[in-house]
Amino acid sequence: MNPPVLRDVFPSAAAGLKSAVTLNNGGKMPWLGLGVFQVDGDAATATAVRHALRLGYRSIDTAALYRNESGVGEAVRTSGLPRSELFVTTKVWNDDIRANRIEAALVQSLKLLGLDYVDLYLLHWPIRGQTENAWRVMEQLYRDGRVRAIGVSNYLVPQLEELLVHAEVVPAVNQIEFHPWLQSKPLHAFCNAHQIRLEAWAPLMQGGDLLRDPVLVSLAAQHRRTVAQIILRWNVQLGVVTIPKSVHPERIAENADIFGFALDDAAMAAIAALDRGQRKGPDPLNFNF
């Protein structure tokens, strides 16, 4: 297995973007990808994804909920890149989990993407009372080869414990809200102990006040980097896969340019001390959608 964290420094963003972590099933997942939540429509999504792929991004994170899988698929299929070099994640939405329509939802996602398989398929949110059934379907899709890895999203420790009681396949990934103000250290430790790779959604806390945190601003000045770059580098040095979203070419480039420098132990400790348990998004133990 790869080391659980990324400490390497690469000569270029494109080289770093190809660096990948080995998941618990032996598959490889790039450390950094492009998220496309709240990208408005397929055309804008295709434009952003095309730009990212040209820069060297190889991983794209979408979901049925985002209603832009067609745009992702179009950009991926017309990129000229071999499918085997790309890592596409999508997620099954809660209504389909509740209605036991996971397989049909995957068929629909693959149709919209225009792909034969996805690299990672995630249960988008933990639906109370559905975990055991839903995971059994996910395991079957994995065994059938229609998804190369399966995982969960927004699962906290009790929900993972419940899933693991019956699981034959351990989730490869848990994608959660994760940034310096929400570090969920016990959950991260639990995932590490079970070889479930943590993946950060809203790594930039969706672009708000976090980017003005004085400690991060000072680290950015010291390293001659932006706050976004400090946060994203901190993610991978902690062993957390990260998928910042942007539709702006200069930010897509900025967010990928994190492989040519490293944070030392003091910088890592300074960021570790920023945790406030503060969420931007819903609480996975109490949501109403």
Ligand X SMILES: NC(=O)c1ccc[n+]([C@@H]2O[C@H](COP(=O)([O-])OP(=O)(O)OC[C@H]3O[C@@H](n4cnc5c(N)ncnc54)[C@H](OP(=O)(O)O)[C@@H]3O)[C@@H](O)[C@H]2O)c1
Positions that interact with ligand X (CB under 6 A): 35-37, 61, 124, 153-154, 175, 201-207, 211, 226, 228, 243-248, 251, 254-255, 281
Beta carbon nearer to ligand X, 44 or 270:
44
Known catalytic membership, residue 57: no
Nearest to 118, CA basis, from 136, 100, 144: 144
Identified catalytic residue from 66, 121, 142, 155: 66
**Shortest distance in whole angstroms from residue 26 CB to ligand X:** 24
Residues in contact with 267: Cβ distance below 8 Å, sequence separation at least 6, in sequence order? 219, 222, 223, 230, 234
**Shortest distance in whole angstroms from residue 13 CB to ligand X:** 13
Beta carbon nearer to ligand X, 1 or 212:
212
Q: Count the residues in the chain.
A: 289
Q: Which residue is nearest to ligand X (CB)?
A: 35
Place of tokens 């969920």: 184
> CA angle, 12 as apex, 7 and 18 as ends, to 5°?
70
**Shortest distance in whole angstroms from residue 176 CB to ligand X:** 7
Beta carbon nearer to ligand X, 204 or 236:
204
Buried b (16+ CB within 10 A) or exposed e, 137-160: bbeebbeeebbbbbbbbbbbeebb
**Shortest distance in whole angstroms from residue 201 CB to ligand X:** 3
Beta carbon nearer to ligand X, 142 or 178:
178
Residue type, 174: N
In sequence order, the β-bridge partners of residue 199 are 175, 241
Report, as residue numbers or ranges, the catalytic residues: 66
